[in-house]
Amino acid sequence: MSDEKQCPKCAETIKAAAVVCKHCGYNFEQQQVQLSAKKKRGCWFYILCFLGLGVVANGLVLVFNPDIKPTVPATPTLSADQVADQTRLKSAVAAAKAVKAALRDPDSLVVERIGTDDAGSLVCIEYRARNGFGGMNRSFVAFKDGSPKEEASYFNKSCPKAVFILTDRVNRRL
């Protein structure tokens, strides 16, 4: 019985391998083609089509409507004082990082006072750090245009001009 099938048109029993019914001439291949053509589409197909149409419609509105322009956030303009303050802070942080990199125990650095001049070209640092024997030493260094000078005479002569004290702000960035 398994190698027989029933013709849907005339209800006669024929071999399962038959392509055409010998009684009425019904074509079984045509039925299989129609079944595969009537394949049901799921709801996901329609959801994706709807979303795709939405994206295309949105793109067309943006392209062809001259009134709608994408908003670009305005970049805040800095005043001359703010720019100078940022320059001083950058030079002070760079000098403190250079001191920290030169130490034997960089984690022991405690910046007690750091100041710059108006232009940020002179950075004076007073700091404490652990020495090779485990004790804390107090020291000072002055950076003029990025080069360190540890002479006491230069530090005492130049650093009273360092009026911008940035100790807290630099310590947060170390």
If one counts every other C-beta atom within 10 angstroms of the C-beta of residue 132, the result is 8
Q: Are residues 27 and 94 in the same domain?
A: no
Q: Which residue has the higher pLDDT, 20 or 129?
A: 129
Q: Are residues 93 and 32 in the same domain?
A: no
pTM of the complete model beyond 0.85: no
Q: Are residues 112 and 165 in the same domain?
A: yes
Q: Are residues 14 and 94 in the same domain?
A: no
CA-based end-to-end distance of the chain: 87
Instruction: Please indicate, yes or no, if residue 57 is contained in any of the structural domains.
Output: no
Q: Are residues 84 and 168 in the same domain?
A: yes
Q: Are residues 96 and 155 in the same domain?
A: yes
Q: Are residues 101 and 23 in the same domain?
A: no
Q: Are residues 87 and 150 in the same domain?
A: yes
Q: Report the domain count for the chain.
A: 2
Q: Are residues 28 and 84 in the same domain?
A: no
Per-residue b/e over 22-38, b at no fewer than 16 CB within 10 Å? Answer: eeeebebeeeeeeeeee
Per-residue b/e over 53-67, b at no fewer than 16 CB within 10 Å? Answer: eeeeeeeeeeeeeee
Q: Please write the tens of the pLDDT for every residue from 118-158.
A: 888 899 999 999 988 889 999 999 999 888 988 888 888 88
Residues 13 and 141: their CA atoms lie apart, in Å, by 106
Instruction: Please indicate, yes or no, if residue 27 is contained in any of the structural domains.
Output: yes
Residues 174 and 106: their CA atoms lie apart, in Å, by 10
Residues 129 and 111: their CA atoms lie apart, in Å, by 9
Instruction: Please indicate, yes or no, if residue 43 is contained in any of the structural domains.
Output: no
Task: Name the residue range of residue 30's domain.
Answer: 4-37
Backbone torsions φ then ψ of 28, nearest 5 degrees: -75, -30
Instruction: Please indicate, yes or no, if residue 25 is contained in any of the structural domains.
Output: yes
Band (pLDDT 50/70/90 cuts) for residue 172 is confident
Structure confidence at residue 99 (pLDDT): 92
